[in-house]
Amino acid sequence: MSVNLPPIGAGDLAGSHRLAHMHRNVPGVLATVNALFAEHGVNVDSQSLSTRGEVGYLVTDIGADYTPEMVTRLQQMPETIRLRVLS
């Protein structure tokens, strides 16, 4: 699948972990991702979302460690195309 990602302005990363989530652009994805972070007591330091047609690209910086369960649940969301943990 070849996708032109929408431009996104993710700032400098300082003391956080960055997760990049490419997903199908449907209602509720951002709410689901943020509910997962809240469920695990993880605060979002910064978040940028951009969409282009049927694809959304979400970059989230969190100030706490993520768990393998969190990563697995994000990967297993039906809307997820790809998840990358960048730091």
In order along its 87 residues, the chain shows pLDDT tens digits of 555 655 555 566 566 899 999 999 999 999 999 999 999 999 999 999 999 999 999 999 998 899 999 999 999 999 999 999 988
Q: What pLDDT sits at residue 16?
A: 82
Buried (b) or exposed (e) across 34-58, using 16+ Cβ within 10 A? eebbeeeebeebbbebbeeeebbbb
Question: Hey, where are the domains in the chain?
Answer: 27-85
| CATH annotation of 27-85 | 3.30.70.260
The whole-angstrom separation of Cα 53 and Cα 86 is 24
pTM exceeding 0.75: yes
pLDDT of residue 2: 54
- What pLDDT is stored for residue 12 in this prediction? 63
